[in-house]
Amino acid sequence: MLDVMISSQIERQLYTADQVRALDARAINQADVPGSVLMERAGAAAFRHLGDEWPNARVIHVICGTGNNGGDGWVIARLAADSGLQVSLTLIGDEGRIGGDAKTAYLRFIEAYPQIAIRTELRLPPDPEAGPAAAPTSDQVVVDALLGTGYRGALREAHRSVIARINDAGLPVLAIDCPSGLDASTGSIPEVAVKACLTVTFIGAKFGLYTGDGVDVVGEIREESLQVPAWVFDDPSPVAALMSLEHQRASLPKLPRSAHKGRRGHVLVVGGDYGFGGAAIMAAEAALRSGAGLVSLATRTEHLSAMMARQPEVMVTGVGGAADLRPLLARASVVAIGPGLGQSEWGQSLLGAVLDARCPLVVDADGLNLLANSGSELPAGSVMTPHPGEAARLLGVGNARIAEDRLATTRALQTQYQATIVLKGAGSIVIDQDERFAPGVCPYGNPGMGSGGMGDVLTGVIAALMARGLSAGNAARLGVCAHARAADWIAREVAHVGYVATDLMAPIQRLLAGRLD
């Protein structure tokens, strides 16, 4: 779970690094806020958060680059010295390359504190040459003002070495705007990145802090608008929105007291080949627990007794192929296909029948793998829920390409398959077919979700929400948020690891009803 507060009413807007630079320029050129003033505000805000997070800090190691991120660092160093803290300063790069507002902040620091040495080679505890603070202690904090959002592409060797030393020092780290080495626009880490405990980011929230590799290095995120006028954010449009469960839950239709099971739709789950019956059973139970009026399961005959014993409310039918499945398809509002489907002739036959029925689908797991090989079109209003490996197969690219730019991957899938896409993983991304909705990023979830069956449960949840009347996009967004938030509740209240997919069903049920925080 990302440690960042999410408003229950307004979803936070996310931007690329280039977009935030455009916002910064707009504030300077149109709102008449000098860049030097923004830099002072940024440094002051970061220093305030440093004091709030580490009130016992006495030694501040500030590592500055030559750009504006380094400029924020010079402000922090000056404020730390003003407060009587011991400041250790390192400049990585040629002093002559410092320019603009960063140069102003640099000159202001050396004028105020000419006695404080500025190293050009990083020395951090336990390095014996680190000076008075040669051993790591609880009163020391590192400030990463090396690269920030200015990083893109290959790291210079000097930067790579400094990042490694910061990570090896074992000291708490405050990252300024973005941990150095993280691509703030994509969430990828091509080489190595600073592992921060706290990231203070400015003006606009950066997309890459909330998804992919970014979530492993940002620590807690705190955002500061630097008093930029609200109208500055009118342009450019954000690249995505950070979803909130409370906001998404508002899309659920209210049921009249006279509502019957037919009002909440009929989900048909198709899957469960030999050895994989549990996947389909979990998807069916999740659909029922998420409010579908009726749930049917089409699976191997051998799995009938297991489903009936586990959840007798699910109508389960053994199917040997497409002919057995067609009568069930005629009664379904939504079909969830893929959990435990396998890639044998049986699974291929069932997928063909499902595609022919032109019913809205939720496609996961082997349904996606078979789809990648078939090139078939999906019915309108369908959802695909690939993890990165499945996304790579669907697009015919290597796994590394997916990690490089998760948002671009999700957009490519949406364009190619004309469906709502859920790209699973840390900071799951949802892209709706309806272009009025910005892509959504899920801020919930934790490492304990890395176990078998989690995707099967999500498939059932999304299918149930579609059956209840939500659009594919709304169902995907709400389903992803409720699923991950349920896992966070379990991690907080029960255990960080060792919980299983079926444990999510009860908290999902309560979260969808608004009866669990």
Is 52 marked as binding a ligand?
Answer: no
Is 340 marked as binding a ligand?
Answer: yes
**Other beta carbons within 10 Å of 137:** 12
Is 69 marked as binding a ligand?
Answer: yes
Is 212 marked as binding a ligand?
Answer: no
Q: SS3 for 1?
A: coil
Is 427 marked as binding a ligand?
Answer: yes
Is 455 marked as binding a ligand?
Answer: yes
Is 498 marked as binding a ligand?
Answer: no
Would you put residue 204 in left (φ > 0), alpha (ψ -120 to 50) or beta? beta
Is 280 marked as binding a ligand?
Answer: no
Whether residue 75 contacts residue 102, with contact meaning beta carbons closer than 8 Å, is answered with: no
**Other beta carbons within 10 Å of 452:** 11
Distance in angstroms (rounded) separating the CA atoms of residues 131 and 506: 55
Is 244 marked as binding a ligand?
Answer: no
Helix 277-289 / helix 505-512 crossing angle, nearest 10 deg: 30
Tell me the helices (H) and strands (E) count for the chain, helix number first. Answer: 17, 19
Distance in angstroms (rounded) separating the CA atoms of residues 75 and 90: 14
Where b means 16+ CB within 10 Å and e means fewer, 391-423 reads: bbebbeeeeebbbbbbbebbbbbbeebebbbbb
Whether residue 201 contacts residue 222, with contact meaning beta carbons closer than 8 Å, is answered with: yes
In the chain, the N- to C-terminal Cα span, in Å, equals: 14
Whether residue 396 contacts residue 412, with contact meaning beta carbons closer than 8 Å, is answered with: no
Helix 388-395 / helix 406-417 crossing angle, nearest 10 deg: 50
Is 234 marked as binding a ligand?
Answer: no
How big is the chain by its Cα radius of gyration, in Å?
A: 26
Is 517 marked as binding a ligand?
Answer: no
Is 387 marked as binding a ligand?
Answer: yes
The residues, ordered by sequence, that sit 6+ positions from 366 with a Cβ below 8 Å of its Cβ are 271, 338, 340, 341, 342, 343, 347
Distance in angstroms (rounded) separating the CA atoms of residues 215 and 186: 11
Is 84 marked as binding a ligand?
Answer: no
The residues, ordered by sequence, that sit 6+ positions from 102 with a Cβ below 8 Å of its Cβ are 39, 66, 67, 68, 70, 71, 74
Structure tokens given for 502: 């079926």
Q: Which of 203, 209, 194, 253 is nearest to 223 (CA)?
A: 203
Is 364 marked as binding a ligand?
Answer: no
Is 180 marked as binding a ligand?
Answer: yes
Structure tokens given for 363: 């496609």
Is 488 marked as binding a ligand?
Answer: no
**Other beta carbons within 10 Å of 356:** 13
Whether a cis peptide bond, with omega within 30° of 0, leads into 256 is no
Structure tokens given for 222: 């705190």
Residue 516 vs residues 53, 244, 245, 428: alpha-carbon distances, Å: 29, 14, 11, 22
Is 398 marked as binding a ligand?
Answer: no
- What is the DSSP pairing of strand 240-242 with strand 86-91? unpaired
Is 210 marked as binding a ligand?
Answer: no
Is 133 marked as binding a ligand?
Answer: no
Q: Which residues define the annotated binding site?
A: 68-72, 144, 148-154, 177, 180, 279, 340, 387, 424-428, 455-456
Q: Which residues define the annotated binding site for K(+)?
A: 69, 144, 180
Q: Which residues define the annotated binding site for AMP?
A: 424-428, 455
Q: Which residues define the annotated binding site for (6S)-NADPHX?
A: 68-72, 148-154, 177, 279, 340, 387, 456
